[in-house]
Amino acid sequence: MPNSPVLLLLCAACVAFASSSSVRRQPLSKNSVEHHRTTAAVASSFNVDVKNGVEFKLDVRNNTKRMVELRFPNGMTHDFVVFDESGKEVWRWSNGRLFTQTIQNKLVKSNDSAVFADKWSGKNAHGKFTAVAILSSENHPVEQRVEFALR
């Protein structure tokens, strides 16, 4: 296919753009940490709860009066990654998963949310970690980080 290199470069540019965002940290409770990020159209919050394993929840809210379309280049809409204190990746939600190569979209109504959640067992993991939530949207990319500890 002659356009394959162009598509590959576009995907790489989207990933690079998605990884350049800022966050504000707000502790929720002893077992939970949440970060918020707001853009013109969407606001996002990333919550990590460590009560029963490690639960991740990325909430992407439409702050406009119109419907917002989240466009994704393939079947992978989001990802969660966990790094240890040294920066070594210890878990990635997407590892071992297969995703369609079909472009897709998700419509989010005014003042409504799209929620992406999953759980990591954290089995035998102890210490301080950083979780990263990634929304792979081409038009509203999000990347947020939350620090948490397992004892």
The amino acid present at 14, given as its one-letter code, is C
Residue 124 pLDDT level (bands cut at 50, 70, 90) = confident
The amino acid present at 6, given as its one-letter code, is V
> Ramachandran region of residue 148, left (φ > 0), alpha (ψ -120 to 50) or beta?
beta
Q: Dump pLDDT digits (tens) for 100-118.
A: 999 999 999 999 999 999 9
Residues paired with 132 in a beta bridge:
81, 145
3-state secondary structure of 15: helix
Look at the chain and report how many structural domains it folds into: 1
Q: Dump pLDDT digits (tens) for 36-90.
A: 555 568 899 999 999 888 999 999 999 999 999 999 999 999 999 999 999 999 9
Q: What local confidence, expressed as pLDDT, does residue 52 receive? A: 85
CATH number of the CATH domain containing 142? 2.60.40.2360
Domain that includes residue 87, residue range: 4-150
Q: What local confidence, expressed as pLDDT, does residue 122 receive? A: 86
Q: What is the mean pLDDT of the chain?
A: 81
